[in-house]
Structure 1
Amino acid sequence: MKFKFEKLIIWQKAMDFGEHIHQLVLKFPNYEMFGLSSQSRRAADSIALNLAEGSIDQSNPEQKRFVAYSIRSLAEVITCLHKSKRRNYITEDEFECIYEEAFNLMNMMVSFKRSIK
């Protein structure tokens, strides 16, 4: 790995999470292609993208700001998951599985943000 952010466990987990969301929304109805499906994918991808962007400038306020963007994007994905469950696009089991992954990622990102000096 040549870039520092590639070594970050949270970046790796965020990359995996984005792929899980991508796979999950593939089964949404076609009419959601430009709605909830697209929003879920973009927000999930934004998590890893912001972690990477923030790692370039490791000055305290700048890196913290980008980690905060990642946290906000994850909150957006969680809201999309709730919407998806309410609309019966995903099962309760699918929701619980991805929600648990999101919860763990959120805790990791909050801890990482606190550790930035």
Structure 2
Amino acid sequence: MHYRDAVIWEKSMQLAETACREAAGLPREERFGMRAQITRAAVSVPSNIAEGWSRESRKEKAQFMAIAHGSLAELHTQLLLCVRIGWLEDDDMRPAFALIDEISRMLTVLRRRMRS
């Protein structure tokens, strides 16, 4: 199966689109700060899933899924901080937070399967 057919990749692409759109609304002075961090972390999730999916060895696949999982946690933290600061509205971020939770659970299952 191609990574583009994987549900986890599609959901992570949806999350990246949402996060990048939300980041565009952050204060202008955050263009090279939080906004850039959010964009990098958001893009890293589906990118590492795709790269891991394309690797041949289980060890390499697992490594890229671990990186994707770390980027997902980083993105979640950054979005939560933006809500706490008041740059983003909690209600607006609920769909993104739900996707983060779902993708995290999916990555956990994938990574466990790769270890066994």
In which range does the TM-score fall when normalised by the shorter chain?
Answer: over 0.9
Where does residue 45 of structure 1 map in the other structure?
Answer: 43
Cα distance in structure 2, aligned partners of 1:81 and 1:58: 33
Q: Does residue 56 of the first structure (1) align with residue 54 of the second (2)?
A: yes
Deviations 1:63-101 (A, max 9, x none): 000000000000000110121012111112123332111
The alpha carbon displacement at 1:37 in A equals 0.7
* Off by >3 Å, runs of 4+ in structure 1: none
TM normalised by structure 2 equals 0.92
Cα distance in structure 1, aligned partners of 2:34 and 2:4: 29
Q: How many residues align?
A: 115
1:90-105 to 2 correspondences below 5 Å: 90-105=88-103
Question: Which consecutive unaligned segments of at least 5 residues does structure 1 have?
Answer: none
Question: Which consecutive unaligned segments of at least 5 residues does structure 2 have?
Answer: none
Where does residue 70 of structure 1 map in the other structure?
Answer: 68
TM normalised by structure 1 equals 0.91
Partner SS state of residue 87, structure 2 = coil
Where does residue 17 of structure 2 map in the other structure?
Answer: 19
Deviations 1:42-63 (A, max 9, x none): 1010001101111121311110
Percent identity over the alignment?
A: 28
Partner SS state of residue 58, structure 1 = coil
